[in-house]
Amino acid sequence: MSASEPPNIDSSGVESAGAGNVAQSPKRGESVSETPALPPNWLPPPTPAFSSDRPAQTETVQFIGRYRIERRLGQGGFGAVYLAMDEELKRRVAIKVPKRMASTQVAEYREEAQKLAKLEHPGVVPIHDIGHSAEFPVFLVTKYVEGGTLSEWVQRAQPDFLTVARLIADVAEALHATHLKGIFHRDIKPANILVDTNGKPYLADFGLALKEGHGLDAVPGVLGTPAYMSPEQASGEGHRVDGQTDIFSLGVVLYEMLAGIQPFRASEKLSPRERTSQLLELIKTSDPRPPRQINDDVPKELERICLKALAKRKPDRYTTARDMADDLRHFAENPSTQEAASIRVQLPRSAEATTPAGSPADSTPNAPQAISDRTPLKIVPKGLRSFDASDASFFLDLLPGPRDRDGLPESIRFWKTRLESFDPEIAFAAGVLYGPSGCGKSSLVKAGLVPRLAEHVLPIYLEATSDDTEQRLSRAVRRACPVLGDVLSLTILLKNLRRGVGLPSGKKVVLVLDQFEQWLHAKRGQTNLELPAALRQCDGERLQCLILVRDDFWLAISRFLEQLEVPLIQGRNCAMADLFDPPHARKVLEAFGVAFGKAGWDSIPAHSVASAQAQTPNGH
């Protein structure tokens, strides 16, 4: 097996030839074993999670209920799937027969199937019936999709990147519909995405969604197909499985379509059980190579979407599958991407010579990758000073994490969205950005956020002091809004702004108070202060306040916000700026070294990595 053909690992870690499911539609007379194997230039064969238990045999059974059996389509971890004819309605259907169950399990299965039957979405294989017979305590009847699996469709259709984007967008939209019903698939993979003869995709085989209690016997607590698992699944954290879990798995599928190989691949030299363990460890701890490093025809925007879906941390992934679908459709409909319509999905020759699966070059938490496609970065050293608006052109390249379609990391998008909005459900009256001393809070705001605020936002930035913050803020407000005149009271100034006095229609003011620990320390224990009384005028519509403070002043800032009667809610009006982790700190240092033409990452000492961690923020 070559490096471009990752092993097909089943639930116990044993290589297998794959199996069919509802999705498959082999030609009449074919068995599942006759399904053609995929070539080494695209997706690997399906990798269902097999169980040692077998469903009831149907070799001697011609009917299941009123359904006449034609042939078996496949067999997997939850039972077998058969092609049958509905003798009453005269239509072909697919029948799923679960493995043998206890009577209590049958009742649970029927209850969950009834829940799934309510999923009326054109992108989900519909359930027609659920029944039982003497031979089969329970069976599920679904629509039979004439076509094949996603893998077979790619072989047959050889789609271009725009077609791939539209198809995965449709799958993501169907996933979103199931998530809104509280149903999570847990086993998204090419074998469970069916594509009919018209190129329309369907989500199929909600076996894991039906019952979480079934899983990989070889890995206790782990559910799903190893190669397509999310980090939380690979860790056996079933309580953390939700819609973002399915988004990660769909990201794995998209990665295969872009790069031609799976993002996480275990070494072929290991035993099956060891291979499964290594694969799960890679999923939990490593980052995949960017698809464009394997296939440079991959559009940058598709790579960004894919890597955002594959983010290790759930907060860094798409919040909903619809968000992912929106980005994919935006890419497909953008005139600047139409050249992607002429490029077929395939694995470039250069990728065939990559190192064996499981090697550090495939996926590793420490291998440096380009921070930006611009080489070299025009970084201007600041020493101990923070970056500012003059550094905005390169600053975002220093930040970690996935980007949105505008190239913004979540640490910037989070605040930008909330400061630009007039919607009270999104905007806030006062917010707090906190983090350890020297982590880069000021740089994040001055070089990353403020220069990118929309034109209708008027930012007023001020470094707080121990003695004259109120007076300096009053002067800054009057300079920004001269119409307000020489009003002496800060409270009246801000009250006028809240009422729109001195502000053009459609404008808003954002007060940014940096180094606020200086004020908090000086005013500790004091009451009836002017600043909290004035900031109570912030309404989130015309006037907002963003406060930057050291994390060791958390109790003090919490008490300050209580005076404003503004609750601090993480992810709503409160976020952390943390130090870089060592791998990203190395990437930042490499960028500095390349910019100055003096260093490669191999020459970077450990103490320099520690220093880089404290220079630029990792905002969450």
- pLDDT over threshold 80, residue 439: yes
- The answer to whether the CB of 430 falls within 8 A of the CB of 512 is no
Is the distance from CB of 503 to CB of 535 less than 8 angstroms?
A: no
Q: Is 187 a catalytic residue?
A: yes
| Annotated active-site residue in 10, 86, 170, 187 | 187
What is the predicted pLDDT for the residue at 133? 81
Block residue for tokens 């010579």: 353
* Average pLDDT of span 122-142: 89
pTM: 0.71
Alpha-helical runs (H) found in 353-458: 392-395, 410-420, 441-443
Whether the pLDDT of residue 124 is over 70: the answer is yes
What is the reported pLDDT for 110? 83
Class of domain 32-146: alpha beta
Check whether 96 has a pLDDT greater than 80.
Answer: yes
Give yes or no for a contact between 595 and 376, defined as CB atoms under 8 angstroms apart. yes
Question: Comparing 213 with 491, which gets the higher pLDDT?
Answer: 491
SS (H, E, C) 282-303: HHHHCCECCHHHCCCCCCHHHH
What pLDDT shows up at residue 587? Answer: 79
pLDDT of 568 reads 96
Closest CA to 308 of 294, 334, 326, 295: 326
Residue 252 confidence class, pLDDT cut points 50, 70, 90: very high
C-alpha distances (whole Å) from 392 to each of 339, 444, 538 are 30, 10, 28
Give me the mean pLDDT over the 171-194 stretch: 94
Secondary element (H or E) of residue 280: helix 272-285
State whether residue 172 is helix, strand or coil.
helix
User: pLDDT tens, 15-50?
Assistant: 333 333 343 443 433 333 333 333 334 444 443 333
- Distance CA(7)–CA(98), nearest Å, equals 27
**182-204: average pLDDT:** 93
* CATH superfamily name and code, 389-578: P-loop containing nucleotide triphosphate hydrolases (3.40.50.300)
Query: pLDDT at position 17, please?
Result: 34
C-alpha to C-alpha distance for 53 and 61, rounded to whole angstroms? 19
Domain boundary assignment for the chain:
32-146, 148-352, 389-578
- CB proximity list for 475: less than 8 A, separation 6 or greater: none
pLDDT higher than 50, residue 365: no
pLDDT-derived band at 213, boundaries 50, 70, 90: very low
Given pLDDT bands bounded at 50, 70 and 90, which one contains residue 68?
A: very high
Per-residue pLDDT of 255-265, as tens digits, reads 999 999 999 99
What pLDDT does residue 352 have? 34
Q: Say which residues have a Cβ less than 8 Å from residue 303's Cβ, sequence separation at least 6.
A: 258, 290, 291, 292
Stretch 569-580: mean pLDDT: 91
Looking from the CA of 240 toward its CB, the CA atoms found within 13 Å total 14
pLDDT: is 606 or 426 the higher one? 426
Query: For position 585, what pLDDT does the model report?
Result: 79
Predicted pLDDT at 600: 53
365 vs 314, higher pLDDT: 314
The fold of the 148-352 domain, in CATH, is Transferase(Phosphotransferase); domain 1 (1.10.510)
122 pLDDT tier (thresholds 50, 70, 90): very high
32-146 and 389-578: same fold? Answer: no
Predicted confidence (pLDDT) at residue 56 exceeds the cutoff of 80? no
Pairing of strands 543-550, 574-578: unpaired
Lowest mean pLDDT among 58-67, 132-141, 281-290, 528-537: 58-67
- Among 438, 434, 427, which Cα is nearest to 556's? 434
- Residue 60: its pLDDT value, please? 61
d(CA 81, CA 86): 15
For residue 77, name the pLDDT band (cuts at 50, 70, 90).
low
The stretch 463-473 carries a mean pLDDT of 96
The answer on pLDDT for 478 being more than 80 is yes
Instruction: State whether the Cα torsion 6-11-16-19 is positive or negative.
Output: negative
pLDDT digits (tens, 9 = 90+) for 512-569: 999 999 999 999 989 999 999 999 999 999 999 999 999 999 999 999 999 999 999 9
- What span, in angstroms and rounded, lies between the C-alpha atoms of 583 and 364? 10
Is residue 130 scored above 60 in pLDDT? yes
Of 402-411, 555-564, 596-605, minimum mean pLDDT range: 596-605
Distances (CA, A) of 442 to 386, 433, 577: 6, 10, 10
